[in-house]
Amino acid sequence: MTDPASRSPSLLVFGGGYLGFEAAREAIRRGGRAFATSRSAERRTEMATAGVVALDPTDPDALTAAVAQADAILVTAQPDAAGCPGLKALIPAITASAAYPDWIGYVSLTAVYGDRAGGWAFEDDELNAASLEGARRVRAERDWLDAGRGMGLTVQIFRLPALYGPGRSPLQKLRDGGARLVRKPGQVFNRIHVEDAVSGFFASMARPHPGRAYTLADDEPAPADVVLEWTAARLGLPKPPEVDLDDPSVSDAMRRFYNDSKRLSNARAKGELGWRPKYPTWREGIESLLKSSPQP
């Protein structure tokens, strides 16, 4: 196959959710072709309307045909107790198609690092996942890297922190009154705008490093309460109600963020991939969302 750096790659996304759909659309914007899977017929219709070739991941023939046409494969589907569903579906499809992709990216989470008590986490640190979700990601990373070595595939791992973007940010909860302010002294974490995550994938396609892991995160770790208060003020809204972490109004996802406190280094992605976040801090990211989604 051709070098993905020389032209827009044909991209197959296994997992056409929020992040995967954006990656597929970016491939099309860059002049390439995009395939993406979803179990939801409604979602497949939505993707097809956007120009994405939508696939049912349970259809092995369709998946094999897509693999045969793909220069690059991105796996965003989350693992379950049995492992990564993308691995289980794609390895047989790659073997059946006899068309090995130039690049495979597996999207993991920074939950694999576990708690660092506010310290820095780097890609080569020992993984210490403290949650079931994080432990499953550790296993999926290992399984993909093992498959890459065993089959001669160029597999890269991408560890993402809290993902936000259009329709998925503090703006929605503040505007609908569902936001809650939780304070935990010393707790910090990074974030990543969906556009920056996707640009990191494409930067890696242009400069692949088999077996490498990259943390794609913004430049400024910050406490959740600071971000929420700043955003409320920017919207001209009062501070949301302050609650304890164990309050029923606090979502399980938010509790997971508060369990770990760490600062994430993105130096490797910058140095090896030439990647730079368009939104280096949460302030720029939220400002961009305000411009694209003004108050009603």
User: With the C-alpha atoms ordered 236, 241, 245, 251, is the resulting torsion angle positive or negative?
Assistant: negative
User: According to the model, what pLDDT value does residue 3 have?
Assistant: 38
**In 268-296, which positions are buried (b, 16+ CB within 10 angstroms) versus exposed (e)?**
bbbeebebebebebbbbbbebbeeeeeee
Query: Is residue 295 assigned to a domain?
Result: no
pLDDT digits (tens, 9 = 90+) for 165-187: 999 999 998 998 888 888 888 88
- The alpha carbon of 260 is separated from its chain's Cα centroid by a whole number of angstroms, namely 18
Query: Is residue 234 assigned to a domain?
Result: no
pLDDT digits (tens, 9 = 90+) for 9-20: 899 999 999 999
pLDDT digits (tens, 9 = 90+) for 59-118: 999 999 999 999 999 999 999 999 999 999 999 999 999 989 999 999 999 999 999 999
Instruction: Return the closest-CA partner of residue 71 out of 106, 20, 27, 25.
Output: 27
| Average pLDDT score over residue span 263-267 | 98
Query: Is residue 70 assigned to a domain?
Result: yes
pLDDT digits (tens, 9 = 90+) for 102-146: 999 999 999 999 999 999 999 999 999 989 999 999 999 999 999
User: According to the model, what pLDDT value does residue 183 have?
Assistant: 86
Q: Residue 6: which pLDDT band, with cuts at 50, 70 and 90?
A: very low
Task: Give SS3 for 222.
Answer: strand
Query: Is residue 170 assigned to a domain?
Result: no
Q: Is the pTM of this model over 0.85?
A: yes
229 pLDDT above the threshold of 90: yes
Q: Residue 2: which pLDDT band, with cuts at 50, 70 and 90?
A: very low
More confident residue, 177 or 28: 28
Report the CATH number that the domain containing residue 91 is assigned in CATH: 3.40.50.720
Structural domain boundaries enclosing 119: 11-161+194-218+263-278
Query: Is residue 289 assigned to a domain?
Result: no
Q: What total number of domains does the chain contain?
A: 1
